[in-house]
Chains A and B, each alone.
Chain A
Amino acid sequence: MAQLDTREKLAILADAAKYDASCASSGTAKRSSRDGKGLGSTDGGMGICHAYAPDGRCISLLKILLTNSCIFDCHYCINRKSSNVRRARFTVDEVVQLTLAFYRRNYIEGLFLSSGIIRSSDYTMEQIVEVARRLREDHQFRGYIHLKTIPDADPELVHQAGLYADRLSINVELPTASGLKRLAPEKSGVRIEGAMGDLKGAIEDGQDARKHYRSAPKFAPAGQSTQMIVGADSANDAEIIGSASRLYDQFRLRRVYYSAFSPIPDASTILPLKRPPLIREHRLYQSDWMMRFYGFAAHEVTAAAGDDGMLPLDMDPKLAWALKFRGVFPVDINRAPKEMLLRVPGLGTKAVAAILSSRRTHALRLGDVARLAVSLKKIRPFIVAADWRPVALADCVFPLLEAKSTAQLELFAA
């Protein structure tokens, strides 16, 4: 086989990485290269998306695989052993040089490196760690590094990875154990969760050490995250939200990413060949927001799902929840506590903060609320304001909203 040049490899190894949903470069320690020796900075906050692809997803990191060859045969994965895709493999140096060159031109915030498993888990992990080591030590690179760790790899290697990386992740792959068994028979849920548990321990030890010695090295300051594929196994939304919330609690994850299963070239017959249910993925992210920012418990979010455990596709889950628990509405904009205001459909965290601040000076009228929120129409049936009470309206709005919710079937059609 003819040697591929770096650009050809990049085409193959970025293509192979595009199914991974995680992209964020957020929440790490603040760093800069003011000392004039290194390259790069992180601002400790949200990270920067440097471009957007036509699929609406942001490009923040150079997201690639070290190689798309793999000794495993996971059915959901384009890189599985039995797939006919073209294979390529970067050298450690190629990844380092690409990262630096892209970074200097302000195309990216850093690197997100993952890999197919070649030879052995340890060998693969060593290569991943070596990329990060060279970036950090040889080139004093201070941008963001996210490494995908291999669950079976030697804990010592994972520990080294954590010293170089801002974030580490291990994908749980599928929301149900039975799905994992069917689609990735060589992977084990127990091992994956074991590795996530180890990481949690190491991250906490690192934080502890820094409380005592300020000079202790930072271990994965942006924490750990995971991804699960949605739509390739039988899990319904309620089950997915349940397992996400368990993962958040158990392993103190920063983020759970959802990736709608995508038809892939050369798929295994086990998989659905349908268009990915993008709306479903979106609804799951909204449910994640409900838990992370609006104070809903997992069981409350799943209560918004229908009998089949699925969140409605034609409205956001917060609205769905409100329609189910309409007894708690209307909420008085001028008196309700923050927690209740956060539950009003259409009110985000910023609007709620503005309401709380403003009502200290005067009683808010509907017109005031309109100035603070994106769309008053959505909010109106659920609130009481100084000049507003949604009496009969509630009864004529609710059935209307509900009648729309039968479209789910069609949206999943091929």
Chain B
Amino acid sequence: MRVATIATQDDFDGWRLEARELACAGVPAGEVTWRVGDEFGDLLASAGGAAPAVAGVMPFSVPRPFLDLARAAIRHSDPERFGLLYSMLLRLRAMPLLIQDQTDPLLRRIEAMAKEVRRDIHKMRAFLRFREVGEGEQRGFVAWFEPTHHIVRANAAFFIDRFASMRWSILTPELSLHWDGETLREAPGAQRADAPDGDPLEETWKTYYASIFNPARVKIGAMLKEMPRKYWKNMPETALVSSLIAGAQARESAMVATSRENLGGNVAGSWEALREEAMGCTRCPLYKDATQTVFGEGPLDARLMFVGEQPGDQEDIAGKPFIGPAGQMFDRALAQAGLDRARSYVTNAVKHFKYEQRGKRRIHSKPNAGEIQACRWWYGQERELIRPAVTVALGATAARQMLGKAVTISGARGIAHRLEDGSEGWATIHPSFLLRIHERDEADAEFGRFVEDLKRVKDRLTALA
């Protein structure tokens, strides 16, 4: 058994010298025990000094990427790293191309170590917090940090680059760094109690942390992934996390509630603007063949909203909903039920006319699920503005838009549906269905049922008032 000793946990140059010597002597990886000189005292002084002269060692080359990889991986806390790197070195010496084989299990293990080290280095740069001590000439900054790997020395240059004009100390369990504005001094590890506990500015920083957080977007998993709990204990702001999360729901509801209360009285302007925006809609292909967008119509404070299917031939030309034959049928039924169309908001589930050209005639065709879904945006916006107490879906397409899922009219008819916003929805037939019944008695009976549905809606409106 050979014992190879290197000066410190992160002594890459020492490892390199030892490894080269062992490799040249043909010592197999299994026969080497790696030891780190345990104290900083004398060994530290000699590390980085003149390399011990190695007689008869022929230099040999290893692929450059391996050196970079080993330099990082050697800082890992796994005690096996020296031996693993040495094994890899021996294999690479025999077969340099192996460095390209990223599927090699040993290489992967070393890569993974290097990755963890790089991450730890990065996290130290990110999560280390300085605290101010002293005043005037004596002013300085002290930080306490607990790295997972042996990375403190590797990070010294970063902190000097950044904070060269400050006096600072970084204390860690293994090694401390002291910068006086000109030179860097290393010292043995410290204890948490050696570092100051708070900084007057921390309250201000916490104020910032709490204020920049948007309670409507809580994503705890994403936060934990980037800021694992092990780093939390030395970061002042993380003390706020649990209360911020706990209060988020209430803050979001309050935000929505205030915005509902303070409506600002610009519903009419909003609706006009929305309608105008809808005129240019290209969310689905239906805009291409239709003449224009047929937007909803009616008083903006209506308590009753009717949702039709889609505009027909005449609506498409006039730009108004429910004015063709079905619209006239609808008006007749409303009158019989004692409802006033002028006091209702009337719109369609899909705002563009979809048709097939047959000779000179444009024959209505049913919008598909994608088109209904695309047009849902406008429907949703109209509902936000009108906020009807009762909504009546006329036909299956309208019911699908209102309920957000496909239903049959026979199944959905005659019952109150609770809608997303808490209001009430009803479904019935589309008046064009009545136009397609040729049998007189049957048509009358269906018309009667339709009027009955509308009467029920009228009763609900009164009851909900």
Contacts and interface: CB of A to CB of B under 8 A. Distances in A.
Interface of A: 6-7, 10-12, 14-15, 17-19, 32-41, 43, 48-59, 62-63, 75, 82, 84, 98, 101-102, 104-107, 176, 178-179, 181-183, 185, 233-234, 236, 239, 260, 262-273, 275-276, 278, 306-310, 354-355, 357-358, 360-362, 364, 368-369, 371-372, 408-410, 413-414
B445 interface: no
A70 to B, nearest CB: 15
A275 to B, nearest CB: 7
A34 B162 CA distance: 7
Nearest to B139: A104
Given A49-B126, A372-B102, A413-B420, A54 B213 contact: yes
B258 to A, nearest CB: 5
12 contacts: A11-B210, A17-B212, A34-B160, A39-B163, A57-B217, A84-B262, A181-B273, A234-B378, A234-B381, A270-B269, A408-B373, A409-B376
B103 A105 contact: no
A39 B166 contact: yes
A360 B214 CA distance: 49
Contact of B283 (A55, A234, A276): A234
A12 B210 CA distance: 11
A268 B209 CA distance: 27
Contacts of B97: 360-361
Q: DSSP majority for the A interface?
A: loop
Nearest to A367: B103
B205 interface: yes
Given A234-B381, A268-B264, A272-B380, 6 more contacts: A59-B212, A105-B132, A239-B283, A308-B371, A410-B404, A413-B404
A33 B161 contact: yes
A190 B145 CA distance: 51
B165 A36 contact: yes
A263 B216 contact: yes
A404 to B, nearest CB: 16
Contacts of A7: 203-204, 207
Given A105-B132, A178-B280, A40 B205 contact: no
Contacts of A10: 204, 207-208, 211
B61 interface: no
Interface of B: 97-98, 100-103, 105, 108, 122, 125-132, 141, 143, 158, 160-166, 181-182, 199, 201, 203-205, 207-223, 226-227, 235, 237-238, 241, 244-245, 248, 252, 254-256, 258-260, 262-264, 266-267, 269-270, 273-274, 276-278, 280-285, 368, 370-371, 373-374, 376-378, 380-381, 384-385, 404-405, 420-421
Given A56-B219, A364-B103, A266 B262 contact: yes
A179 B277 contact: yes
Closest 3 CB pairs of A and B: A56-B222, A307-B370, A56-B219
B219 A105 contact: no
A54 B212 contact: no
A324 to B, nearest CB: 14
B430 to A, nearest CB: 22
Contacts of A179: 277
A50 B237 CA distance: 11
Contacts of A361: 97-98, 100-101
Contacts of A59: 209, 212
A106 B421 contact: no
Contacts of A275: 216, 252
Given A263-B256, A270-B266, A33 B274 contact: no
Contact of A11 (B98, B141, B211): B211
A39 B396 CA distance: 67
Contacts of B208: 10, 14, 62, 102
Contacts of B226: 49, 52, 56, 58
A96 B374 CA distance: 48
A236 B371 CA distance: 12
Contact of A307 (B126, B237, B241, B374): B374
A409 B277 contact: no
A101 B285 CA distance: 55
Given A179-B277, A234-B377, A309 B227 contact: no
Contacts of B102: 354-355, 357-358, 371-372
Nearest to B141: A104
B214 A262 contact: yes
A106 B126 CA distance: 8
A17 B209 CA distance: 12
A273 B165 CA distance: 50
Contacts of A19: 214
Nearest to B181: A36
Contacts of B211: 10-12, 14-15, 18
A267 B261 CA distance: 10
Contacts of A52: 222-223, 226-227
Contacts of A41: 158, 161-162
Contacts of A54: 213, 218-220, 223, 241, 244-245, 248
A2 B209 CA distance: 24
A307 B98 contact: no
Nearest to B279: A178
A116 to B, nearest CB: 16
Q: Which among A62, A271, A361 has the greatest number of chain B C-beta atoms within 10 A?
A: A361
A79 to B, nearest CB: 14
Contacts of B205: 102, 105, 107
Contacts of A182: 270, 273-274, 276-277
A309 B100 contact: no
B103 A236 contact: no
Contacts of A409: 373, 376, 404-405
B237 A51 contact: yes
Q: Which among A32, A48, A106 has the greatest number of chain B C-beta atoms within 10 A?
A: A106
Contact of A105 (B131, B214, B368): B131
Contacts of B122: 48
A98 to B, nearest CB: 8
A260 B377 contact: no
A75 B267 CA distance: 12
